[in-house]
Amino acid sequence: MIIAGIGCRSACPAEDILALLTDPRITAIAAPAAKCSEPGVIAAARALGLRLIPISPEALAEAQPRCITHSDRVLAKVGVSSVAEGCALAAAGPDSRLIMPRTANRSTTCALAETTP
């Protein structure tokens, strides 16, 4: 499975999220639990027909050592330094690996992780 982890600003439009979710192999979207009620996040998952996986703050924190990209600004704001990568890795499981590190646009970040068989 290929999991797309996303991070986004509040009130992020679905279009910004969809612009980063272009890999046809994506099987699910993972986002911080607090963002899973955002209309843009819900709309993006529905538009692609993908399951939305909420990631708890604890699971997001546990995934941080396996992240490649780190942001001091994000760390100061949300308590972890890599939201998209952390969500992708947390949802894909403890033996998963990043296959695409964080990419970003004006309001969204995205990373892809692959589960290991």
Domain count, the chain: 1
Measure the CA–CA gap between 1 and 82, rounded to whole angstroms: 21
Per-residue pLDDT tens for 60-116? 999 999 999 998 988 888 889 899 999 999 999 999 999 999 999 999 999 999 998
26-32: strand order across its sheet: 51-55, 26-32, 2-8, 108-114, 97-104
Region 4-31: what's the mean pLDDT? 96
Residue 8: pLDDT above 90? yes
Given a contact cutoff of 8 angstroms between Cβ atoms, the answer to whether 113 and 89 are in contact is: yes
What pLDDT was estimated at residue 78?
Answer: 85
What pLDDT was estimated at residue 75?
Answer: 86
Region 40-66: what's the mean pLDDT? 97
What pLDDT was estimated at residue 15?
Answer: 97
What pLDDT was estimated at residue 117?
Answer: 72
Domain that holds residue 84: 2-114
The candidate with the shortest Cα–Cα distance to 102, out of 66, 76, 77, is 66
What pLDDT was estimated at residue 34?
Answer: 95
Residue 72 belongs to a domain with what CATH number?
3.30.420.180
